[in-house]
Structure 1
Amino acid sequence: MIGDGLQKAIYAALTAAPALCDGKVFDTVPMDTPAPYIHIGDCQVIDEGNSCADSWECYTDIHVWSEPETGSKLEVMRIGAQIVPRLLAIAAVPGFTIVISTIENVRYLDDPDGVSKHGVITVRHVLDEA
């Protein structure tokens, strides 16, 4: 199984200098964290192994939250545009070779609270055991 290596690699990519959102990248967001911030959300791991190799297909949702005074989604879109190349550039997960790294989906939403803006980026990594 892949363990926590991929999440650590994602966190490192998002917090590498210059850190996105001033380094406010969390897997559990502390109460009263001021926006904007990034939340490493759900991860789905699918066993894609066969008789020749152990392989896993991993989907990770990265959430971006903003509370702009303007009411615009532009801030979450700008941050999302900075996140995507960092996710695609992840080159190493200890014990694994990254075979595929791709963005599956990007969505920008108005939150039901009427203030917050929300971006969701779904990244897919296929990992082969090294």
Structure 2
Amino acid sequence: MSADLAVQIAIRARLVATSAVTDLVPATSILDRNATPAPRPGIVLGESQVVDEGSSVDRTRERVFHTIHLWKTEPSREGVKEISAAVRAALRSERLEIGPDYHCADWRVSSTRTMSDPDGESSHGVIVVEVLAVEVVA
């Protein structure tokens, strides 16, 4: 399994297991999909990028940048900011378990943004999570 997929699975598992998140967004609306429209309220596990950390000769350290999209139909951005805060707290609560093939050496929510969607009815949030994944070499 790739590091970015392991991180995505760990993020979804953390979010659906956190009642502060599922009180705002049903677990069935926390998903990875390309279809539109996104559920409202909804959390869509989005794009990822994997970059070699460059700090080990054996190339077993990768930094994963994972994007999470938040959606809510509302006249303001208050609700999506509330969802964002719950997601940030859930992800920061403890180290991510990213499976048997990788160790989460470091992780952080590196940025959050909230904006109005051009549809005029929705607010949209974007969270970027950075994870330093170290491949477990047997």
Q: Report the TM-score range of the alignment, normalised by the length of the smaller protein.
A: 0.7 to 0.9
Instruction: For residue 39 of structure 1, give the secondary structure of its aligned residue in structure 2.
Output: strand
Contact (CA 8 Å) 1:26, 1:40: kept in 2 or not? yes
Shift of 1:129: 1.4
Aligned residue number for residue 25 of structure 1: 30
TM-score by length of 2: 0.83
CA distance in 2, matches of 1:118, 1:96: 31
TM-score by length of 1: 0.87
Asked if 1:85 corresponds to 2:89, the answer is: yes
**Greater Cα offset, 27-36 or 46-55:** 27-36
Asked if 1:63 corresponds to 2:69, the answer is: yes
Asked if 1:123 corresponds to 2:122, the answer is: no
CA distance in 2, matches of 1:77, 1:123: 16
CA distance in 1, matches of 2:61, 2:102: 9
Contact (CA 8 Å) 1:10, 1:90: kept in 2 or not? no
CA distance in 2, matches of 1:2, 1:34: 27
Kindly report structure 1 stretches of 4+ aligned residues shifted beyond 3 Å. Answer: 29-34
Counterpart residue identity of residue 37, structure 1: G
Counterpart residue identity of residue 56, structure 1: E
1:40 aligned to which of 16, 35, 45: 45
Counterpart residue identity of residue 87, structure 1: L
CA distance in 2, matches of 1:7, 1:129: 16
Aligned residue number for residue 108 of structure 1: 114
**Greater Cα offset, 91-100 or 34-43:** 91-100
Counterpart residue identity of residue 85, structure 2: A
Contact (CA 8 Å) 2:4, 2:66: kept in 1 or not? no
Instruction: For residue 80 of structure 1, give the secondary structure of its aligned residue in structure 2.
Output: helix
Unaligned runs of 5+ in 1: none
Aligned residue number for residue 10 of structure 1: 11
Shift of 1:84: 0.6
Aligned residues: 128
